């Protein structure tokens, strides 16, 4: 015993390597905190002057008039931009939730062997398509298609960008949802099967309820993805300041507004700071969404741990 302690404390090469690697991974872990804090400080500093001095909260949240470059009466109403982002993200979820949950259930519970591996790779490949390519598809393929099929004046609208965004958010949602299904202990499935449940009954009655928190988290992360996506939305949404009343209305997203205008704005001007205010707002919203997702994931984990010890008791219907 004494010898072993001594050996473990010996400062040979392995000990130093161990130490160095610990410091290195600690730096890696801390860097995430440093970066997120740095980004928050930066956008807040750039936008703070405007938020505290000139921002009219009523105008910002309740007026759809975003005319920052007007020569005589610049206004900074973000309602139409918020509505644009919300409507596109909402439609994207309608598209992607059934698709990605279906895909996750199939991959996690039904598919086996080759099919399963191939599908997983393909879903991940879908995530690798650059957003500007998605935007291009929206602009040059979906636009004429929507005009033809629905006989509407223009095909760059909520529907177009919602579908594009839904397809973009689906891979990450599928991957996380599948992880959530995988985290449900096999003892649950075995217990249910032992009681004569079919595959679908096992999935629907046992696995899905047990994985509920993880699935909610997957959906929330998809929402976060939708809120933050820029390029594809900029190209496919029509980029038009408008309070949408139907899926065929063109809208403009918060992110797309920042992307389109920041590059040509004099640093430090009101317009510049107003764009950073949009950035602060976006940051807070996505932070809240991710935080909520995290809470759900934690809730899920705790549940497995608690129940995992007595699987037979809780799998009992």
Buried b vs exposed e over 54-73: b needs ≥16 C-beta within 10 Å? ebeeeebeeebbbebeeeee
Shorter beta-carbon distance to another protein: residue 119 or 154: 154
Q: Considering beta carbons, is residue 139 or 221 the nearer one to another protein?
A: 139
Listed residue (233, 236, 285) closest to 257, CA to CA: 233
Q: How far is the CB of 207 from another protein (least distance, A)?
A: 44
Measured from the CB of residue 129, what is the shortest distance to another protein in angstroms? 14
Nearer to another protein, 80 or 169 (CB): 80
CA–CA dist 55, 50 (Å, integer)? 6
Contacts of 198 (CB under 8 A, 6+ apart): none
Rounded to a whole number of angstroms, the minimum distance from the CB of residue 56 to another protein is: 18
Tell me the C-alpha distance between 279 and 283, whole Å.
Answer: 6
Decide: 31 and 253 in contact? Cβ < 8 Å. no
Cβ nearer to another protein, comparing 66 with 304: 66
Is 232 within 8 Å of 161 (Cβ atoms)? yes
Interacting residues of 50 by C-beta distance below 8 A, sequence separation 6+? 270, 273, 274, 276, 277
Alpha carbon distance, N-terminus to C-terminus of the chain: 50
**Which CB atom, from 108 or from 138, has the smaller least distance to another protein?**
138
The minimum distance between CB 184 and another protein, in angstroms, equals 43
- Taken as a whole, the chain contains a residue count of 317
Q: What is the closest distance, in whole angstroms, from the C-beta atom of residue 76 to another protein in the complex?
A: 12
Least distance from C-beta 139 to another protein, angstroms? 7
Residue 113 or 153: the one with the smaller Cβ distance to another protein is: 153
Q: How far is the CB of 253 from another protein (least distance, A)?
A: 12
Q: Which residues bind another protein (CB under 8 A)?
A: 64-73, 80, 132, 139-140, 143-144, 147, 151-156, 234, 238-242, 250, 252, 259-261, 263-267, 269, 271
Q: What is the CA radius of gyration of the chain?
A: 25
* Structure tokens, 154: 């223009």
Least distance (Å) between residue 227 CB and another protein:
20
Query: With respect to another protein, which residue has the nearer C-beta, 55 or 233?
Result: 233
Looking at the Cβ atoms of 36 and 141, the one nearer to another protein is 141
CB 39 within 8 A of CB 284: no
For the chain, helix, strand, coil in percent to 5 are 75, 0, 20
Handedness of CA 65, 67, 73, 77 (dihedral sign): positive
């Amino acid at each position: 015993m004494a010898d072993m302690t001594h050996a473990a404390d010996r400062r040979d090469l392995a000990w130093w390597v161990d130490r160095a690697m610990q410091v290195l991974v600690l730096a890696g872990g801390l860097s995430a905190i440093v970066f997120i804090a740095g980004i928050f400080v930066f956008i807040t500093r750039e936008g703070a002057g405007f938020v505290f001095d000139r921002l009219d909260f009523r105008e910002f949240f309740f007026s759809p008039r975003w005319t920052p470059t007007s020569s005589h009466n610049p206004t900074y109403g973000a309602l139409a931009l918020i509505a644009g982002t919300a409507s596109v993200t909402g439609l994207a979820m309608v598209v992607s939730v059934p698709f990605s949950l279906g895909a996750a259930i199939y991959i996690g519970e039904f598919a086996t062997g080759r099919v399963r591996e191939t599908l997983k790779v393909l879903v991940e490949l879908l995530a690798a398509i650059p957003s500007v390519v998605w935007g291009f598809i929206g602009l040059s393929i979906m636009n004429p298609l929507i005009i033809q099929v629905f006989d509407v004046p223009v095909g760059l609208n909520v529907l177009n960008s919602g579908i594009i965004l839904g397809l973009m958010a689906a891979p990450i949602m599928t991957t996380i949802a599948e992880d959530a299904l995988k985290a449900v202990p096999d003892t649950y499935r075995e217990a249910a099967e032992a009681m004569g449940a079919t595959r679908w009954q096992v999935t629907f009655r046992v696995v899905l309820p047990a994985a509920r928190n993880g699935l909610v988290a997957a959906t929330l992360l998809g929402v976060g993805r939708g809120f933050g996506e820029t390029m594809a939305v900029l190209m496919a949404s029509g980029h038009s300041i408008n309070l949408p009343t139907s899926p065929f209305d063109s809208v403009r997203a918060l992110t797309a507004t920042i992307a389109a205008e920041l590059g040509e704005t004099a640093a430090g001007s009101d317009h510049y700071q107003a764009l950073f205010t949009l950035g602060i707002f976006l940051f807070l919203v996505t932070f809240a969404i991710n935080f909520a997702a995290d809470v759900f994931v934690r809730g899920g984990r705790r549940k497995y741990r608690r129940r995992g010890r007595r699987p037979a008791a809780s799998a009992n219907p």
